[in-house]
Structure 1
């Protein structure tokens, strides 16, 4: 497995075009591989995420079984004369993950649920729009995903309820973009979670890091990255 980071030159038209549509950026990411990546369900998949810390610091992160070649992104949306990308061997980190390890994490996800207005109406996938429901979406998946989000000490909680965890939700976005071959536009709610976690099941957690969490993985959701606490 490999972890790759690429910095966009947001002043370029090509960068703005790629960043404006998850569909276009997904195609650009997938064309970074000489061999066709495995389909979902057949092993670790290609995951990607955009981190926009500021207009001058917009990064693309990719986790993939094979090394990507981002020459086309450098030419279209980077610095062709001086820009590169960084790819690291992700396998040693994955191998040493152990129960009880604590990490800082970031995850951009598509928190949704199924709902219907009447009993005879078919269920429909609906986005969670409230912060509390978006928080609950992640908490409901943490055990199966091999981790638990740490609790705050009581003296650091600012609310009587809903503020128990070391978790911040930000960059809540409603995206709308066209999809190739379809007239109807795709709408997508994405949120970014920053927090602290403890590993409870290393094997399940490794799967989370390499297979993604939640839906809309093709559109920049599901990739969790780690940093030392």
Structure 2
């Protein structure tokens, strides 16, 4: 177990029954990811340890990226996958204003519905955003996070609805954004990477990945 922010890249074993179960059910995936953080964290354990994760699929493999302040992949079910873990400290040390980066993030763009004036005191439901509205939502969030986005490529992903009775019943519409950006505020970006962005974090949304952009 580590005491600094780390990220694990887990190449999933497609023959594992635990993996197959988790790929079918986002709530079960969340429970499996929480096995890697310490026990007895009290209320809001995911937030306390900063756990974020994202599933990246290709034609041949499924890889989980998992980020947290404390992470122990040895606590995953036997045969779940091969995990490589590294510290986030070098990435944070490299952040500087003007740095060109490539990014990837899976998001649940949403807004709270505005109610008529006569409904004072009530809160509108959360509604998902799509298309240009979702793109603008991400551009605003990216700016707040210290990124000036140059390119954004949206990919609509399968939505998630938690299945367990005690889970949040909200349907999470997911969009993955890939692109390039320039760092405008390294401190804000550091915080955004650690805290994640947007809703749906227990179900695989919000993890912002960064890498240096190739020099033209």
Question: Smaller-chain TM-score range?
Answer: 0.7 to 0.9
How many residues are paired up?
205
Q: Does 1:67 align with 2:90?
A: no
- Contact map agreement 1:179 1:186 (CA 8 A) in 2: no
SS for the counterpart of 1:34 is coil
- Contact map agreement 1:44 1:211 (CA 8 A) in 2: no
**Structure 2: stretches of 5+ with no match in the other structure:** none
Which residue does the alignment assign to 2:158? 173
1:85-164 to 2 correspondences below 5 Å: 85-116=83-114, 118-121=116-119, 122=122, 123-128=124-129, 130-150=130-150
SS for the counterpart of 1:177 is coil
**Structure 1: stretches of 5+ with no match in the other structure:** 79-83, 151-165
The 1-side partners of 2:198 and 2:45 are apart by 13
Which residue does the alignment assign to 2:200? 216
Q: Report the Cα offset of residue 71 of structure 1.
A: 4.3
Q: Does 1:202 align with 2:193?
A: no
Q: Report the Cα offset of residue 227 of structure 1.
A: 2.2
TM-score w.r.t. the length of structure 2 is: 0.85
Q: Report the Cα offset of residue 42 of structure 1.
A: 7.2
Sort the Cα spacing of 1:35 and 1:181 in 2 relative to 1 into closer, same or farther, 3 A: closer
Q: Does 1:19 align with 2:17?
A: no
Q: Does 1:50 align with 2:35?
A: no
The 2-side partners of 1:190 and 1:2 are apart by 24
The 1-side partners of 2:45 and 2:186 are apart by 21
Which residue does the alignment assign to 1:77? 80
SS for the counterpart of 2:72 is coil
The 1-side partners of 2:61 and 2:40 are apart by 30
Any idea what the Cα deviations from partners look like across 1:152-194, whole Å, max 9, x if unmatched? xxxxxxxxxxxxxx11001332222313535x84411111000
- Contact map agreement 2:26 2:161 (CA 8 A) in 1: no
The 2-side partners of 1:40 and 1:94 are apart by 24
TM-score w.r.t. the length of structure 1 is: 0.81
SS for the counterpart of 1:5 is strand
SS for the counterpart of 1:149 is strand
Sort the Cα spacing of 1:185 and 1:143 in 2 relative to 1 into closer, same or farther, 3 A: closer
Q: Please, what is the CA RMSD of the aligned residues?
A: 2.3
Q: Report the Cα offset of residue 96 of structure 1.
A: 2.0
The 1-side partners of 2:65 and 2:197 are apart by 15
| Deviates most, 118-127 or 12-21 | 118-127
The 2-side partners of 1:209 and 1:36 are apart by 25
Sort the Cα spacing of 1:86 and 1:215 in 2 relative to 1 into closer, same or farther, 3 A: same
